[in-house]
Structure 1
Amino acid sequence: MNITILAVGKVKEAFYRQAVDEFKKRLGRYCRLNIIEVQDEKTPDKAGEALECQIKEKEALRLLKHIKETDYVITLEIDGEQPDSAALSRKLDRLGIEGTSSISFVIGGSLGLHEIVTRRSDYRLSFSNMTFPHQLMRVILLEQIYRSYRIMNGEPYHK
């Protein structure tokens, strides 16, 4: 399985980069992982709704350039489905069994995703109703993908 994490902005904090690198290493035995970061737009304080929409659209166009027609796209959205770890594992396993060879997980910028990206989504995923820093969200997502593969393979993983 080819898995791409497509995200707006860079992981700046060293401790987040270390965590991302650790999960990239662990996932290497289960899948081909690619992480693509697209440039984020600066959002001025007190930006109006129209400007925020323009910013999200610019980021969306950068994201869409990296999504292939054959990719199964999972967007991370606060109003998406909130499966538990076992259900996410079953979903990823089922996708592979059904012939999906490439999954792109998409993480938006600080303003979220533009509707042109969400329309391209095949599945909307949420980890919580809470808001997390985007850098931390990458670590959480990678950990859950790793956990999913451990579950699929009947391997132990702490609860």
Structure 2
Amino acid sequence: MVIELIVVGKTVGAWLESGIREYTGRLEHYTRFIQTVIPELKNARNLREEQIKATEGELILDKLSPGDHVVLLDENGQLPGGSVAFADRLQSLMNRGTRKLVFVIGGAYGFSASVYARADEKLSLSPMTFSHQMVRLIFAEQLYRAFTILRGEPYHHR
């Protein structure tokens, strides 16, 4: 299975970039992992929130293929019930023969209606709110943790 993480805008902060590189590098031992960055919109200050979401939404949808299983990382999504439950969900998708699993982290204003309509699932990492920049690192670590759980490796202490 190929896992892709689509993010809107470049990661700001060397410490975040370093952490993300650390965990995405570790992921390569378990799966083919791709991170796709959709550039931030130029002149976004001159656009309304809905215009930004709509334009970002078009750019996100352009990156998706019909067979992709799309999961939005969204504050209103379903809580996975913990790291083990998240790992179990990944295993279930692999068992179903999912070829490409795409996780999407939107921009500061979230997703357009068209992106919500295309999504197969919405996932929340926590009832707490994190910046979309922080979510990148937190998610990369949780994805790595899930694979170590599935392999019975000692990274996750049960």
Normalising by structure 1, what TM-score?
Answer: 0.92
Shift of 1:43: 4.5
Aligned counterparts of 1:91 and 1:68: Cα–Cα separation in 2: 21
- In structure 1, the gaps of 5 or more residues are none
Contact 2:148/2:156, CA 8 A, preserved across alignment: no
Instruction: Tell me the percent identity.
Output: 37
Given the alignment of the two structures, is residue 53 of structure 1 paired with residue 50 of structure 2, yes or no? yes
State the Cα deviation string for residues 8-52 of structure 1 (Å, max 9, x = none): 10012111110111111110110111100102235439x7xxx21
Matching residue of 1:133: 131
- In the TM superposition, residue 115 of structure 1 has moved relative to its aligned partner by 1.2
Q: Where do 5+ consecutive residues of structure 2 fail to align? A: none
SS in 1 for 2:91: helix
CA deviations on 1:93-125 (whole Å, 9 max, x unpaired) are 010011001100000000011111111111100
Q: CA RMSD in A?
A: 1.5
Counterpart amino acid of 1:23?
A: Y
CA distance in 1, matches of 2:12, 2:107: 14
The alignment covers a number of residue pairs equal to: 155
1:112 aligns with 2:113: no
1:4-153 maps to which residues of 2 (within 5 A)?
A: 4-41=4-41, 43-44=44-45, 51-83=48-80, 84-153=82-151
Would you say the 8 A contact 2:71–2:103 is kept in 1?
Answer: yes
SS of equivalent to 2:118: coil
Q: Output the amino acid matched with 2:104.
A: V
Deviation per residue, 1:55-85 (Å, 9 max, x gap): 1000011111111111110001111011111
